[in-house]
Structure 1
């Protein structure tokens, strides 16, 4: 579909265009995104950065409404760029657009302050919708990535001992057997169970095991 034949989003006449800075070390991608957004009413690509350091400098100079940021770039990676910009501009609106989405990278960049995360192969309309959402102050994270992020936060809330107890629960051990493994009392194990079930918002140990296996909090190879 050519730029001329693509359907364009409705954009109010006289409304202020969204000023966008594109940061990506691939020239071909920058050209493509500039052409794509240039054909969309209400968008204005005000600058392009070829590396992370330049992204921070141009953000400081141009103060765009939205920064489209690749995750892996020379000099400063995406996480470092987000941290540097958010340190100076706490209201900065940053949408990560990248080919990579490992759980660790997703978690770090969202924790650093990015408001959105999409992969480069998303459709044109999805990208435009994501830019508009982030510009409006709304977090844009696909459901699968949001699940990764939520699960990661939940794992951090569980203590090391609570995760150890969960692993033994998945093996079918009783409270007394778990207590014997760690040389603690059955009451202490019961307290750990009560705490972790409250954090997981589950009703019993069976539900706790099912929840954690389904979410990957405890992995089958760790049992």
Structure 2
């Protein structure tokens, strides 16, 4: 069964390129295109797609606002953010808005197709560059504005990963770096089934339900 996708981007050339790229996959069907967030919402109501590939900066309504509006609906498609901007603030806003993942436009074509499939199937995906941005939140610019809050100035609280075993921590850290179950399995020399079992326990212990929530929890404790 094909994954029904709407592409939302204000650049017609980008939409055309994404249509050609994703349309080449036999399990992805591009059903419509939108030039802004408002159009994406309207098309989603009309066509009930499985996923919207959403840019952030668009006229009329940007991708973050559109994502929040879509997630507020009882029945809604998954939203995969595809943008040129990998700053930590954009990543966090997108994920907190309910996006299924955050991918940069320089992502290799095969990785983008994988991300679309993963998001449509409920697996959250973060571009490695987006993960690096989150991990770098504890750095401050020498030219930063006076009075700006420092990430490291927050009081250190209890370690949210404390309930995890050493192996579960390793897996949680790997997931937060954007690794797939197969990549984690290869890195730790275990089976994919073992990784899935550990992840189920991690989700239960930390009271999270998605890889994105786990990644945020791991990265925000740094």
TM-score, normalisation: structure 1? 0.61
* 1:106 to 2:91 alignment: yes
Is 1:199 matched with 2:184?
no
The answer to whether the Cα contact below 8 Å between 2:70 and 2:76 also exists between their aligned partners in 1 is no
1:78 aligns with 63
Show structure 2 runs of 5+ residues with no match.
Answer: 138-148, 163-218
Pick 1 or 2: higher relative contact order, CA cutoff 8 A, min separation 6: 2
Q: Superposition pairs for residues 206-221 of structure 1, below 5 Å?
A: none
Cα–Cα, structure 1 residues 163 and 124, in superposed 2: closer, same or farther, change >3 Å?
closer
SS at match of 1:40: coil
**Aligned partners of 1:37 and 1:43 also within 8 Å:** yes
Instruction: Give the match's secondary structure for 1:21.
Output: strand
Partner Cα separation in structure 1 for residue 112 and residue 8 of structure 2: 15
Picking from 15, 25, 30, the partner of 1:45 is: 30
1:20–1:65 CA contact under 8 A, matched in 2? yes
Moved over 4 A (4+): 147-152, 215-218
Task: Select the structure of larger CA radius of gyration.
Answer: 1
Q: Is the 8 A contact 1:151 1:217 kept in 2?
A: no
Counterpart position of 1:125: 110
- Shift of the alpha carbon at 1:90? 5.4
| Structure 1: runs of 5 or more not aligned | 1-15, 153-159, 167-191, 203-214, 219-223
1-side partners of 2:57 and 2:21: how far apart?
22
Q: 1:150/1:90 Cα in 2 relative to 1: closer, same or farther (>3 Å)?
A: farther
Are 2:6 and 1:28 equivalent residues in the alignment? no
| CA-to-aligned-CA distance 1:57-87 (integer Å, 9 cap, x gap) | 1111111011100011011111100000011
What CA RMSD, in Å, does the superposition of the two structures yield over aligned residues?
A: 3.2
Would you say how many aligned residue pairs link Structure 1 and Structure 2?
156
1:68 and 2:53 equivalent? yes
Q: TM-score, normalised by structure 2?
A: 0.62
- Relative to structure 1, the CA distance from residue 23 to residue 89 in structure 2 (aligned partners, 3 Å threshold; closer, same or farther) is farther
Cα pair distance change 1:42/1:151, threshold 3 Å: same
Q: 2:141 aligns to what? A: none
For 1:198 and 1:35, locate their aligned partners in 2 and report how far apart those are by CA, in whole Å. 48
Q: What SS does structure 1 have at the residue aligned with 2:158?
A: helix
Residues in 2 aligned to 1:150 and 1:60: alpha-carbon distance in whole angstroms? 36
CA 1:217–1:58 in 2, change beyond 3 Å: closer, same or farther?
same
